[in-house]
Amino acid sequence: MKRKNPIIIPRPEHTLSRSMLSPNAVQALYRLKKQGFTAYLVGGCVRDLMLGREPKDFDLVTDATPGQVKRLFRNCRLVGRRFRLAHLHFEDEIIEVATFRAPEPDESAEVESLPSTATTADHGVSKPARPPRHLKSDEGVVLRDNIFGTPAQDALRRDFTVNAMYYDIGDFSLIDYCEGLDDLKRGVIRTIGPPAERFTEDPVRMLRAVRFAAMLGFIIEDATWSALVELSATITRGAPPRLYDEFLKLFLCGEGEKCYQLLRGSGLLKALLPGFNDWLERESEGFPHTRTSASLDWVDSRIQEGGKVAPQLLLALMFGEYLEEQGKGFRQSGTPLQQSLDMAVAGLLGELAGSVLIPYKVGMQLREILSSQHRFRKTAGKRPLSFISRPSFIESMDYFRFISATTGEGIESLRWWERFVMENPLPPESKMEKEQDTMTPGIPAKRSRRRRRPKKGLPQQSP
């Protein structure tokens, strides 16, 4: 795909209006224009507005360099190494501003081969060489991509055609270099350029293809899907923290169950979660594992109704049955209940550490949700007020609510706890979050020690 001349859709021929945009994005666009720069709205926000969906964020692209953007906006922060970006911080949102990018330069090999230091003409003093603006790993993954270019070059460097349309605030037209509007009308997810090449450059694009297809109700174009299946095993080349972020986006987009089925069908789930995938393909006591799918349906319903699901609750719902079976296996060898659950959770976190890196805090909250489930069966028991004051109580109760609805067990206990919570309101959420942030599970909070002043008349010891 090497279209040089874009398709220009004038304002009367499309439905996108300036009134639909974030006022902060409009303000930023006009300021860039006023200073003589080219600036467009781009990406998912244009796609969503054309589909009648509400965008989650607004991204801009310009010919101003990140440094120029920073000098122009006092509220600007530069972020990223792989892609240098400008974030404009407003009171209620962050507007992301990128610079038009170009393909890999012909002289990249020479740039990449520069030594780590370079000798200057100033008396032979060695200074660190400038880092390469474009860099690839041995596998072809783009590690750095800061070669600036034109709008046409930038459009052809993007991932999917439906994400590459520009909106020009100057004349309110749509600019389409990649036939994205046509794919948008047909409901197709298609890479810009050879799909194998684009997925090799950035394996995380495979997860994005799945998410967009599920979230928008689109189909993945045949060549794009074939390349995705063929390269699914390479998804682990993505950075584990980034894969965790994409993991959350997949299952918290409101169409997580569809994402789950596409991940299984493509081989991506097997590559990301091999042990969990093997367990899914086996039956337990003659029954297939269907609770994961049911739990994602529950998550989707809550999100579609405007609710939120915390990452630790999502993980507990997805992996709960798997971890319960793992823990049961440890108990059969004589391991105590709590220790067996701790071992199961530790095993899962260890398995995922090389691919989807779950933060330690979230992992401990996952453990707390699962380990507290037996407490709900005791209704009053000892110190129920202390139990409902735990930082993860709300998520633990949501998990118990799902299990009760799925299995029909513990319904009377659930009703008792619901009444008890109504009669004994929980502490403010902000207070609970503060306690959660300042305490590590199993380790008591340290008290600050007051530093004593030396007594008068006595010499102070030297450090």
State the catalytic residues.
57, 59, 159
Cα(203)–Cα(198) distance, integer angstroms: 8
* Residue in 339, 356, 351 with CA at minimum distance from that of residue 278: 351
* Residue in 195, 164, 204 with CA at minimum distance from that of residue 50: 164
Cβ distance 164 to 155 under 8 Å?
A: yes
**Amino acid residing at 263:** L
Instruction: State how far the alpha carbon of 278 is from the alpha carbons of 102, 273, 313, 322, in Å.
Output: 42, 9, 23, 11
* Residue in 387, 348, 350 with CA at minimum distance from that of residue 368: 387
Helix, strand, or coil (residue 309): coil
Give the sign of the dihedral formed by CA 335, CA 337, CA 342, CA 344: positive
Alpha helices in 353-457 (DSSP H): 360-371, 373-376, 384-388, 393-407, 411-423, 429-438
Alpha helices in 267-336 (DSSP H): 268-272, 274-281, 291-304, 311-332
Distance of CA 350 to the CA centre of its chain: 20
Q: Residue 313 is encoded by which pair of tokens?
A: 């609750």
Termini Cα distance of the chain: 69
Instruction: For tokens 């939120």, name the residue.
Output: 308
Q: Residue 398 is encoded by which pair of tokens?
A: 């949501």
* Residue in 202, 206, 195 with CA at minimum distance from that of residue 82: 202
Cβ distance 345 to 365 under 8 Å?
A: no
Helix, strand, or coil (residue 271): helix
Instruction: For tokens 């224009």, name the residue.
Output: 33
